[in-house]
Structure 1
Amino acid sequence: MKSLKIKQPKLLAQLVVERVRQAIIDGDFALGEQISEERLAESLGVSRTPVRDAMIRLQLQGLVSIQPKRGTFVFDPVPQDVIDVCRFRKMLEMGAIRLALGHARNALVKDLQMIVARMRDALADGDVVAYGRLDSSLHQCFVNHSGNPYIRDAYDLVSGQIAALRTTLTSPAHDLRRISFGEHERFLAMATDNQPDALCELLGAHIDRTEDVFAATLKGRREARGGGRAGSA
């Protein structure tokens, strides 16, 4: 007999987490911006309780900082934070690539083909938000196909921050997106040809350049506004 078990709906707090997480990634909230739980609850049509629970979960993902008696702020990294996150990311993605090519290459290549095709369309249309989301999806593919849940869990700790930084710090840089897209096409070709060493080398250079762009842009922004983290005295 076919199962008639009723699937439990997602908890309201999880829905709030997903909505706010995507808003931060898409740049709807600026780095360091204060988030009003009251206004957010009103905007989402929910009570403050699931919003408060969602903020706690988002803090665990590094996307917000809850400061007692001050409020909740979108994460506001200094250049060294960006460097540390990018180097952590590089270590995880390189390991994931080798695992993915070792036991799930066909599935990985199929997903990369689909994402690269959609990235090409987004780039041609000038759709910065769609391109950024697809960029994140492509790198997530390496992790998802690694077959290692510990790598996935570790990557989840920084994937939201990376996606938000990508949108916030590189969205005006059309030339950089074209360079990045060319490298993503090469990722696909190298995965198709089963070249883990070449792919890891290119990925390393790709992330190193991203690190430099993020850190330099962030440094310039912080100098322009006088430095210091959001919400600091």
Structure 2
Amino acid sequence: MPEIDFNSDVGEGFSLYHAGDDAAVLPHITSANIACGFHAGDSRTMRRTVALAAQLGVAVGAHPGFQDLQGFGRRLMKLLEDEVYEAVVYQVGALMGFTCAAGVPLKHVKPHGALYNLAATHRPTADAICHAVKDIDPGLMLFGLSGSELTAAATACGLKVAHEVFADRTYQDDGTLTPRGQPGAMIEDVTVAVDQVLNMLHPGEVRSIQGNWVPVRAETLCIHGDQPGAAAFAWSIKQALLSEGVVIRSPV
């Protein structure tokens, strides 16, 4: 039977600011990517989100990004590879402190936003991320865009890899995500999202925004927890997958 992990980016509030409804999204997913304080999140949010994920049996992962609270980590920053390495170690280490304190294993790492998109096409950045993850714990899994430089770097580094696809984002002909500033970057119609997800599972391709079919490898499926109506979106996608006989479970 086909199977896939279902993940979401969560824990992205900080201080008095709240982003998304994690308590409503988490029951529908199998892996949680928790913000580590650079693009979003803070100590209290990390602690609470780790606890809630553990209570629901959801695998916990770190979601490091650029140090850009104002831009939510979605603005490109020019960093040296050593600086990328250090930023990832710093953030994953912060979340790992809370998982250790809670007695919850840290299972995976998924870069966020502009860092994720840069690593998908820029091998030196991808290598820096993967070396950081491996130096922290070689048993951690790396989530990266399907068929990207990031997944290639993780494989070359000896890390376990989950090729990621997206339910709520459109694609370009080269397999990258449509930049958020462009029209049609987000999928807001759940019917369209379900059709895209099922095609990515079988026959393993996605229609680009240019109208062409692009091959993908779907091992973990992402929905963004900060989008409006994310919980209902997640529920609908989960029900559609289950109705097609797809097994939804964490890969780690």
- What is the TM-score normalised by the length of structure 1? 0.26
The answer to which structure has the higher strand fraction is 2
| Structure number with higher relative contact order (C-alpha < 8 Å, ≥ 6 residues apart) | 1
Greater Rg by CA: 1
The answer to which structure has the higher helix fraction is 1
- What is the TM-score normalised by the length of structure 2? 0.24
